[in-house]
């Protein structure tokens, strides 16, 4: 039997010089004629030209892709954010722009804070730190006092180191037992109501607090009259208060200049005593504030 020649038994295959195992076409299916070498050469040249164009086009696309990746990294870095994953974080060689690495560490700085403000009460808690000048006119300045819409006229003042001499009933003993060093008094009036404020000074806050605790309803300062203020609370019932702040204990005694007794219905007397209590503790606190401020600026 005659062996089958190439090309027999199926349709002729297209020959591609770039495709492995492809067969060259034969003219006439085994007729013995030589292949058309010129046509084959032209086809090969056309295919090579197309491949070169593809390579050039692919290179241009790659260049555009790199440029895009770098641009994204630059914008991201300039905007304060990190480059996106997969993009370049460096510009092409020769560039002076330094793009920070997404994995770079951020410098840390030790936290700073201002020192805590000085506590005003520390400066009025003991004689060792409470060194500012003190007098009736410093503690109770001016000639009148305005509390809200009420105006009180300032009357006589007094200052003594013999604390017991300016107190009555059970208060002298309380002051002596706790080593009171000074007692300042001032009187204010409003219409027919008068109030005397007494500020007892001690070496320490503990002594002032103890004096306040030991005082009772009979522990009162002596009313201070004179300078146009009539005598009050000498024999009549008056309203008194006791309190302390820092190394100061302060007392009020309020009543009528006409000598009548104070009752629970006399709201004006109670309001006067409360206003002078409030003003006194504010003045003591301001004393501490002034000294704390001065110490902070040294």
Asked if 236 and 261 count as a contact pair (C-beta separation under 8 A), the reply is yes
- 251 burial (CB, 10 Å; 0-12 / 13-18 / 19+) is buried
Strand order in the sheet with 144-147: 144-147, 150-160, 182-190, 193-201, 248-256, 239-245
**pLDDT value, residue 43:** 63
pLDDT tier for residue 117 given thresholds of 50, 70 and 90:
confident
Has residue 42 been placed in a domain? no
**Burial (Cβ within 10 Å: 0-12, 13-18, ≥19) of residue 170:** middle
Structure tokens at 238: 């008056």
Residue 217 lies in a domain: yes
Mean pLDDT over 93-120 rounds to: 57
Query: Can you tell me the distance from the alpha carbon of 172 to that of 232, in angstroms, rounded to the nearest whole number?
Result: 20
Residue 133: what pLDDT? 96
pLDDT confidence of 36, banded at 50, 70, 90? low
Answer yes or no: is 67 within a domain. no
Residue 227 domain flag:
yes
**What is the 8-class DSSP label of residue 268?**
H
- Give the mean model confidence (pLDDT) for residues 23-51: 56
- Among 2-11, 188-197, 211-220, the range scoring the smallest mean pLDDT is 2-11
Per-residue confidence (pLDDT) for residue 298, from 0 to 100: 77
More confident residue, 87 or 98: 98
Q: For position 249, which CATH number holds?
A: 3.40.1000
Least confident of 21-35, 178-192, 223-237, 265-279: 21-35
Residue 26 falls inside a structural domain: no
Count of structural domains, the chain: 1
Residue 256 banded pLDDT, cuts 50, 70, 90: very high
- 195 — pLDDT class (breaks 50, 70, 90): very high
For residue 246, is it within any domain?
A: yes
pLDDT at residue 18 tops 70: no
The pLDDT score that the predictor gives to residue 297 is 85
Which pLDDT does position 68 carry in this prediction?
42
Q: Once rounded to an integer, what is the mean pLDDT over residues 69-94?
A: 40
Whether the pLDDT of residue 14 is over 60: the answer is no
The confidence band for 296, taking pLDDT boundaries of 50, 70 and 90, is: confident
In a domain, 14, yes or no: no
pTM summary value: 0.62
Tokens for 197? 């404020």
Task: Identify whether 108 is part of a domain.
Answer: no
**pLDDT, mean of residues 80-101:** 42
The H or E element containing residue 223 is none
**Residues 62-71 pLDDT 10s:** 444 444 444 4
Taking residues 197-217, report their average pLDDT: 97
- 190 pLDDT more than 90: yes
Question: For residue 277, what are the domain limits?
Answer: 120-285
pLDDT of residue 64: 44
């Amino acid at each position: 039997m005659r062996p089958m020649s190439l090309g027999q038994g199926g349709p002729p295959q297209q020959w591609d010089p770039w495709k492995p195992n492809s067969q060259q076409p034969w003219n006439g299916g085994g007729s013995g004629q030589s292949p058309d070498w010129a046509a084959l050469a032209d086809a090969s040249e056309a295919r090579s030209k197309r491949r070169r164009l593809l390579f050039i086009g692919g290179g241009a696309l790659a260049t555009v892709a790199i440029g895009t990746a770098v641009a994204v990294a630059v914008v991201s870095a300039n905007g304060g954010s990190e480059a996106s994953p997969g993009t370049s974080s460096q510009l092409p060689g020769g560039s002076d722009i330094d793009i920070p690495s997404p994995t770079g560490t951020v410098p840390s700085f030790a936290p700073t804070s201002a020192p805590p403000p000085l506590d005003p009460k520390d400066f009025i808690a003991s004689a060792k730190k409470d060194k500012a000048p003190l007098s009736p006119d410093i503690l109770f300045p001016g000639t009148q006092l305005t509390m809200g819409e009420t105006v009180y006229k300032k009357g006589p003042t007094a200052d003594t180191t013999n604390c017991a001499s300016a107190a009555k009933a059970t208060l002298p003993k309380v002051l002596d037992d706790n080593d009171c060093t000074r007692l300042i008094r001032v009187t204010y009036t409003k219409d027919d109501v008068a109030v005397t404020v007494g500020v007892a000074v001690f070496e320490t806050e503990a002594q002032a607090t103890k004096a306040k605790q030991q005082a009772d309803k009979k522990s009162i300062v002596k009313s201070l009259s004179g300078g146009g203020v009539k005598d009050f609370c000498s024999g009549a019932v008056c309203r008194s208060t006791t309190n302390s702040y820092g190394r100061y204990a302060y007392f009020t005694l309020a009543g009528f200049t006409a000598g009548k007794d104070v009752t629970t219905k006399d709201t004006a007397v109670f309001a006067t005593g409360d206003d002078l209590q409030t003003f006194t503790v504010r003045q003591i606190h301001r004393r501490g504030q002034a000294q704390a401020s001065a110490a902070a600026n040294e």
